[in-house]
Amino acid sequence: MSPEKMVTMANQIATFFMTQPGEDQASRVADHINDFWEPRMRRQLLDYVAAGGEGLSPLLIEATKEVREPAQ
Amino acid sequence: MKDFIIPWNDADMGTPAKTGAPVTLTVDGAAVTVPEGTSVMRAAYEAGITVPKLCATDSVEAFGSCRLCVVEIEGRRGTPASCTTPVVEGMVVRTQSAKVQKIRKGVMELYISDHPLDCLTCSANGDCELQDMAGAVGLRDVRYEPGENHFDPTGTGALSMADAKRREGDGNFRYIPKDESNPYFTYDPSKCIVCSRCVRACEEVQGTFALTIEGRGFESRVSAGGAVDDFLTSDCVSCGACVQACPTATLQEKSVAELGTPTRSVVTTCAYCGVGCSFKAEMNGDQLVRMVPYKNGKANRGHSCVKGRFAYGYAEHKDRILSPMIRESIDDPWQEVSWDEAIGFAAKRLKSLQKDYGRRSVGVITSSRCTNEETYLVQKLARGVFMNNNTDTCARVCHSPTGYGLGQTFGTSAGTQDFDSVEQTNVVIVIGANPTDGHPVFASRLKKRLRAGAELIVIDPRRIDLVKSAHVEAAHHLPLRPGTNVAVVTALSHVIVTEGLMDEDFIRERCDWNEFLEYADFVSQERHSPEATEMLTGVPAETLRAAARTFARGGNGAIYYGLGVTEHSQGSTTVMGIANLAMLTGNIGRPGVGVNPLRGQNNVQGSCDMGSFPHELPGYRHVKLPEVRKTFEAAWGVTIDPEPGLRIPNMLDAAVDGTFKGLYCQGEDILQSDPDTKHVAAGLAAMECVIVHDLFLNETANYAHVFLPGSSFLEKDGTFTNAERRINMVRRVMAPKAGYADWEVTQLLAQAMGADWEYAHPREIMAEIAATTPTFAGVTYERINELGSIQWPCNDDAPEGTPLMHVDEFKRGKGRFMITEYVATDEKTGPRFPLLLTTGRILSQYNVGAQTRRTANSTWHEEDVLEIHPHDAEVRGVKEGDFVKLASRSGETALRATLTDRVSTGVVYTTFHHPDTQANVITTDFSDWATNCPEYKVTAVQVSPSNGPTDWQERYNAQAEQSRRILPAAE
């Protein structure tokens, strides 16, 4: 998908969990992405972050540390 | 009707059932005990005795006009009508005596004196209560000579229409010709006995109040609408309740007149909306004569709408494709081939795609139109044969946020109540749903409750019919700006919490108290007050406060919602907000309350239950869980991929990227129904093997390489699960016209790809579902037949199913309050696109219209029109009926405009039933944050005058026409 679309989708998730109480928002964002994003979508996200992650919210970038690396 | 396959008794007991303390009486020497309030007529029926009747039927309250049901009661004077006389303890009733027999004969004689005697050629012959009663009371002579009557057009005293043909006379001003304006039934005033059953059914059952009795005494006639109206121009919604209630041929299905009286019937389930009405398919041989709502159906209780009752003709439509077809490229014409060749072609292509592009390069879309068993097999095809989790279903684009939102808060993805629950509700919130159009049979049940005094709050940008219609008026209408649901729902909670209206006992007992405190702290903030959000939402603060108070103080409060909630960037958040509201007010876990998603399609609940989502195995269990995978791995003998698969929008994105190449799409038209048509078309065009399995060459098939003919719901066995989690039987009434039921086709494809599937009947598939899915553990076909239907969960704890969920505790334990911060959608109005478009559906058409457009339902709605406020129209120079161009940043289309103040200024509305319009070329690719459910309900648009279809529409139609060419099969 286009990087803009992926950034929008990812940031939407971060925006929701940012408002949730507690200290573990980054983990919850990562859990959500691990649960619902197919490996090639996670691959695209991780590659995008590695390339600078322009436009991604800080919480999302924090969360990608816990996003599971796709096996293939 | 003599030859029922299912021998459940659905005889007419004369008057409605009552609930009350037991009362014992004697009828013709037999003792019988019935609930207090029951009529003598119904008590007699319970004792096995049928009292003659004409104006009584158990779908409406007794009326006492025909006097045919008179009986004698010991100690009472005269001969009371048994239909209007309630039972009393110790009452002694005699239904037969010389006295009542004489009265009944006299009554019948009078009726017959103004009724044509052409019974043999009458369309109700064999199915006429007047005829039956004449026999039952022993009418053997009519002493009256022909005189003034309503049935003889010549005015010469003819006894029948046949007789009148030979005569000439001055004419009979009382004779009114048949009204044939409705496409499905006729009104023949000459046969009317003025029993008022139709009028009462229209009021009590349907709640439309379209019919009345006009005139007095001998002049009395049934009349639809006003003086100049016929049935079609009146308010009549063609639900069929009047036809159902009519004891004669006065209101009669045209299909019966044409095809003859049906001789057998099979109880089955409607294939339209998520209400899941039970119908009797009444047949002659394997020809369907009519669909009649089934009285014992627990979702519909004997009612129906224009779609289920009448719009079944698509199953016989000439457009149906009955031969499999293939083509090398989508630019080629279709070639008709054998099933073997088509399946072989599809399997070979899919296998080669997986070899070239990897295991995850192909996927499936399961259908919410098809049965549970068929859906289960399609997702099994993905998981057990393709060896990936690329399976999704149209719930992605409708109720996926319900799954996520209710899963997070309550722990399960389903409505909490049955439809009967509405009878005990005191205050109802309808948010983002238009039940009178989308879920009409439920709407009728709701309206009945509203007429009995329940209060209604409507939260919708449009003034939907429920806001004000005959004898129904919403206490509060909150006309919010599209896209601000979360702000409105949170503001309602703000009022309830800050004014101390919450049910603290319930919250302490049933919910996590700490989470509640955090939530209370959040909603109490001044920025969530109705005053603070008024500018944003457009809902006056006082109206919102009043609505919150009504809901919190009103007693049993129930929330019903639809796609106006889910199809937003914050769809899942709104669902959570609704769940919060229910928990806050203690409205969970008993009759009359609850959170009730109104499901769009017949089996959208079932398709979700069956593991159609790419992250969940059947029963809503994540594929990452090893113990769940183990269950299915043991049953299927394969290794299941632990990674979530692609959702529909992700599949299309991946296709455009070149990593997703093959799709098996069963019974869904993604090109028309999914948002941003151009993007969908690009995705489909990029695939190398698109298999469409459908009744018709739908829009998606324009991009398909293999077409597999589908079977209609009349042609297969299986089950549908409706919005109440009710598993209803679908029963085959005729052989599949293309040779195979849909589950057999999926099995053929699986076998061709190497699977060892050997299902001989859908009951075996259900057995596998029950064995692997705990919520279905107790479900078998035998059990469903025995109980009529079953609401899941059905297992050892609930062997007869579960009408109400979360009764003592939530599925997840403690109810969980979620913080619902409003986030404005990125889809914003601006100078280029200053209006907000929202979409929906109407009564007579259904979704993409593939079915209803191929029936006479198009009489009511032959094209999509744009509703626009007169002010917005005026400044654009748009007049009623003008062609206008509707443009968004995604695309543009043209359609006709209608001016109405049902929509607010700044908002326009249209339906998406017609491919010529393609409303979805306008909608964007924004979607719900959690589930990717598209934001259909908010699109920034501009409207301008236009001369006709846009270039895009013309190009699209040309491509579609080119793509639908079929070469005949080679001999």
B142, part of any domain: no
Residue B530 has pLDDT above 50, yes or no: yes
Residue B4 has pLDDT above 60, yes or no: no
B853, part of any domain: yes
Residue-wise pLDDT tens digits, B716-754: 999 999 999 999 999 999 999 999 999 999 999 999 999
pLDDT recorded at residue B147: 82
Residue B3 has pLDDT above 60, yes or no: no
Q: Which of B569, B654, B925 sits opposite A12 (nearest CB)?
A: B569
* Stretch B880-894: mean pLDDT: 92
B495, part of any domain: yes
* Stretch B374-380: mean pLDDT: 97
Residue-wise pLDDT tens digits, B924-942: 889 999 999 999 899 999 9
Last residue of a domain, one of B316, B351, B383: B316
B573, part of any domain: yes
- The strand ranges marked E within B71-226 are 72-73, 92-94, 185-187, 211-214, 221-224
Tokens at A5, concatenated: 């679309």
Last residue of a domain, one of B791, B823, B844: B791
Q: Which of A16, A38, A72 sits opposite B644 (nearest CB)?
A: A38
A10, part of any domain: yes
Q: What is the CATH number of the domain that holds B702?
A: 3.40.50.740
pLDDT recorded at residue B970: 59
B455, part of any domain: yes
Q: Within 13 Å, how many C-alpha atoms sit on residue B498's CB side? A: 18
Q: Which of A32, A38, A40 sits opposite B614 (nearest CB)?
A: A38
Q: Look at A36 and B643 and tell me if their CB atoms are within 8 Å.
A: no
Q: Look at B826 and A8 and tell me if their CB atoms are within 8 Å.
A: yes
On whether both B642 and B773 belong to a single domain, the answer is yes
Best probe of the B interface among A2, A11, A12, A25, by most B CBs < 10 A, is: A12
Total domains in chain A come to 1
Q: Between A39-50 and A25-36, two packed helices, what is the crossing angle to 10 degrees?
A: 130
End-to-end alpha-carbon separation of chain A, Å? 18
B156, part of any domain: no
Using 50, 70 and 90 to split pLDDT, how confident is the model at B971? low
Domain membership of residue A56 as a residue range: 3-66
On whether both B385 and B439 belong to a single domain, the answer is no
Q: What is the CATH number of the domain that holds B536?
A: 3.40.228.10
B394-412 burial code (b ≥16 CB/10 A, e <16): bbbbbbbbbbbbbbbbbbb
On whether both B609 and B571 belong to a single domain, the answer is no
Q: Look at A15 and B643 and tell me if their CB atoms are within 8 Å.
A: no
pLDDT recorded at residue A28: 95
Using 50, 70 and 90 to split pLDDT, how confident is the model at B397? confident
Residue B152 has pLDDT above 80, yes or no: yes
Residue B375 has pLDDT above 90, yes or no: yes
* Stretch B830-853: mean pLDDT: 90
Q: What is the CATH number of the domain that holds B174?
A: 3.30.70.20
- Which residues are paired to B898 by β-bridges? B867
Residue B389 Cα, gap to closest chain A Cα (Å)? 9
Backbone angles phi, psi at B504, to 5 degrees: -65, -35
Residue A11 Cα, gap to closest chain B Cα (Å)? 9
> How many CB atoms are closer than 10 A to CB A50?
9
* A35–chain B Cβ distance below 8 A for any pair: yes
Strand, coil or helix: what is B12? coil
Domain membership of residue B931 as a residue range: 835-963
On whether both B279 and B298 belong to a single domain, the answer is yes
Residue-wise pLDDT tens digits, B31-73: 999 999 999 999 999 999 999 999 999 999 999 999 999 999 9
Residue-wise pLDDT tens digits, B184-202: 999 999 999 999 999 999 9
* Stretch B157-165: mean pLDDT: 83
Using 50, 70 and 90 to split pLDDT, how confident is the model at B897? very high
- Which residues are paired to B813 by β-bridges? B810
On whether both B376 and B392 belong to a single domain, the answer is yes
Residues of A in contact with B653 (CB under 8 A): 1-2, 5
On whether both B416 and B539 belong to a single domain, the answer is yes
Please choose, from the candidates B402, B394, B352, the residue with its C-alpha nearest in 3D space to the C-alpha of residue B375.
B394
A71, part of any domain: no
Total domains in chain B come to 5
Residues of B in contact with A40 (CB under 8 A): 360, 654, 659
Residue B634 Cα, gap to closest chain A Cα (Å)? 23
pLDDT recorded at residue B953: 87
On whether both B37 and B108 belong to a single domain, the answer is yes
Q: Distance (Å, rounded) from C-alpha B436 to C-alpha B417?
A: 19
Q: Distance (Å, rounded) from C-alpha B709 to C-alpha A40?
A: 33
B815, part of any domain: no
By percentage, how much of chain B surpasses pLDDT 90? Answer: 87
On whether both B778 and B637 belong to a single domain, the answer is yes
Say if CB A71 and CB A44 are below 8 A apart. Answer: no
Q: Distance (Å, rounded) from C-alpha B935 to C-alpha B675?
A: 8
Last residue of a domain, one of B731, B757, B791: B791
pLDDT recorded at residue B898: 96
On whether both B527 and B407 belong to a single domain, the answer is yes
Report CA torsion sign: B619, B621, B622, B625. negative
Residue-wise pLDDT tens digits, A10-68: 999 999 999 999 889 999 999 999 999 999 999 999 999 999 999 999 999 999 999 99
Using 50, 70 and 90 to split pLDDT, how confident is the model at B284? very high
Which of B394-403, B441-450, B954-963 ranks highest by mean pLDDT? B441-450
Please choose, from the candidates B255, B316, B246, the residue with its C-alpha nearest in 3D space to the C-alpha of residue B284.
B255
Name the residue type at position B296: N
Residue-wise pLDDT tens digits, B555-572: 999 999 999 999 999 999
A72, part of any domain: no
Using 50, 70 and 90 to split pLDDT, how confident is the model at B89? very high
> How many CB atoms are closer than 10 A to CB B317?
15
B248, part of any domain: yes
Residue A47 Cα, gap to closest chain B Cα (Å)? 15
Classify burial at B527, counting beta carbons within 10 Å of its beta carbon; exposed 0-12, middle 13-18, buried 19 or more.
exposed
Residues of B in contact with A9 (CB under 8 A): 927, 929, 932
Residue-wise pLDDT tens digits, B12-32: 999 999 999 999 999 999 999
Using 50, 70 and 90 to split pLDDT, how confident is the model at B816? very high
Q: What is the CATH number of the domain that holds B845?
A: 2.40.40.20
Please choose, from the candidates B297, B199, B275, the residue with its C-alpha nearest in 3D space to the C-alpha of residue B443.
B275
Residue B1 has pLDDT above 80, yes or no: no
Look over chain B and give the mean of its residue pLDDT values, rounded to a whole number. 94
pLDDT recorded at residue B849: 85
Tokens at B237, concatenated: 């919604």
What is the C-alpha radius of gyration for chain B, rounded to an integer number of angstroms? 29
Using 50, 70 and 90 to split pLDDT, how confident is the model at B2? very low
On whether both B166 and B266 belong to a single domain, the answer is yes
A32, part of any domain: yes
* Stretch B643-648: mean pLDDT: 96
| Residue B738 per-residue DSSP state | T
Chain B contact residues (CB < 8 Å to A) = 358, 360, 389-390, 515, 518, 569, 573, 614-615, 622, 624, 643-647, 650, 653-654, 656-657, 659, 818-819, 821, 823, 826, 925-927, 929-932
Residue B8 has pLDDT above 80, yes or no: no
Residues, chain A, total?
A: 72
Q: Distance (Å, rounded) from C-alpha B433 to C-alpha B429?
A: 10
Q: Distance (Å, rounded) from C-alpha B134 to C-alpha B115?
A: 12
On whether both B211 and B309 belong to a single domain, the answer is yes
Q: Within 13 Å, how many C-alpha atoms sit on residue B122's CB side? A: 26
On whether both B432 and B489 belong to a single domain, the answer is yes
